[in-house]
Chains A and B, each alone.
Chain A
């Protein structure tokens, strides 16, 4: 094998793995495109789901997912970064901190459907938010939180200590050091890690299905109190139909979801570049 000469055995294994994964992704995207391309027209993005596959669209579901994304980021980002700042810069480094750290790490490994069960009990029932966009957003925020905390901690920890010392040495308060040195320096890392957490959360169907996403809402949600609908649960609903036309709709909606997440990633990438440039 030609790789072997250049990379050695481990390197070859990694290269084969990487190329297999890439090929798999291309295959997946290609399959979706072939399946779903036909349904992608402006009407598809605007119209409501319908019993008639020729008229059905993802309008309300798309709006629901945008709302969910907004709420998830609005809840999880401040709470997650705040928790990371507390753990890194304020909390005493004792046994409790170590315990808290391992809890956060294990929460990151909890299956998403379990977050759905918890969200159903806490946000839908106990809090009385009902099967709403709000309950969904809160559940997805909690789902994203462990990864946001972990990556933010990592980003904060990698800020050089000399920067902190220099700022303290100039008579800056703890808050000023945090606000003007640590957070700007950690921001690119926080953005990268959090973006990953958020795109994963917003793409989840399972927890929203457990909470009880409505499958046949024909109007776009106007606010957090409206019934919970989303693109992933819409895709799931269409895949359960027997008629092949609905399979095409599901593929089209999947393409829309992927494009949405891709756009979010690119936006964060661009923002991060700007941050780094402003920073240097």
Chain B
């Protein structure tokens, strides 16, 4: 039985992060509804990446990072003492700003996650399934053994998405997934993200306001580590409550 839609998949409560004592995120609280696309916008350095990385405990890989507050996934505290971050990352997948294919074959890239978590089923079927979901199957089906680094940047990023889907997460964190890509490749990724809606809860950080407007149901605006405003995308874009949001959207310097 799927829980009612009103229960958020992920929520942050009073979340603060500092790096070597310097605050990167202060007292952020927000709830991510199931099956929706949520975008996080804000100027460079406002804490988008940091917030995403709190959701799957990647910040703790950074020396000097300190996290306070709570993150709940399906109601459970992700930062509780008994929680294994490895397990968290299998539930909550991440796609990075730069495409980072492993220097291995296309197949081995996709198979890496399932192998790491001891996948017992039909690996070939899984690889085909997620490559199809990522819209990459027709392009690579004939050369699964080819090196992933030989793919174009856009294909590499779709491979990275497929690779993340192969672990069967329920949440997908995407950190500016198109910022390194040309417009055509960007459009393909956006279409892909759109097709994932409903099946996955997607959180996408972006500095591209049009992208946020096109893709997301909800938008959060971060500035200087503060969550300034969070709400339905349309409302936030057409009728922002906070003057800081408005000046960011209209491109005026504060």
Contacts and interface: CB of A to CB of B under 8 A. Distances in A.
Closest 5 pairs (CB-CB, A-B): A171-B90, A170-B113, A162-B100, A169-B94, A166-B100
Q: Is the interface of A mostly helix, strand, loop or mixed?
A: helix
Interface in B77-105: 86-87, 89-90, 93-94, 96, 98, 100, 102-104
Contacts of B104: 279
A181 interface: yes
A143 to B, nearest CB: 33
B58 A170 contact: no
Contact of A163 (B94, B100, B116): B100
Given A163-B100, A280-B147, A280-B149, A172 B61 contact: no
A26 B11 CA distance: 71
B236 interface: no
Interface residues of B, number: 26
Contact of B89 (A169, A185, A280): A169
A237 to B, nearest CB: 49
Contacts of B116: 167, 170-173, 176, 180
A159 to B, nearest CB: 10
B202 to A, nearest CB: 15
Interface of B: 56, 58, 61, 63, 86-87, 89-90, 93-94, 96, 98, 100, 102-104, 112-113, 116-117, 147, 149, 160, 163-164, 167
A162 B98 contact: yes
A169 B98 CA distance: 14
B192 to A, nearest CB: 18
Contacts of A180: 112, 116
Given A165-B100, A280-B103, A172 B112 contact: yes
Interface in A138-183: 160, 162-173, 176, 180-181
A51 interface: no
A5 interface: no
Interface of A: 93, 160, 162-173, 176, 180-181, 184-185, 279-280
A166 B167 CA distance: 13
B221 to A, nearest CB: 25
Contacts of A168: 58, 61, 89
Contacts of A162: 96, 98, 100
A169 B112 contact: no
A40 B168 CA distance: 66
Contact of B93 (A93, A170, A184, A279): A170
B58 A171 contact: no
Nearest to A280: B147
B89 A166 contact: no
8 contacts: A165-B100, A166-B96, A166-B100, A166-B102, A167-B112, A170-B167, A171-B86, A173-B116
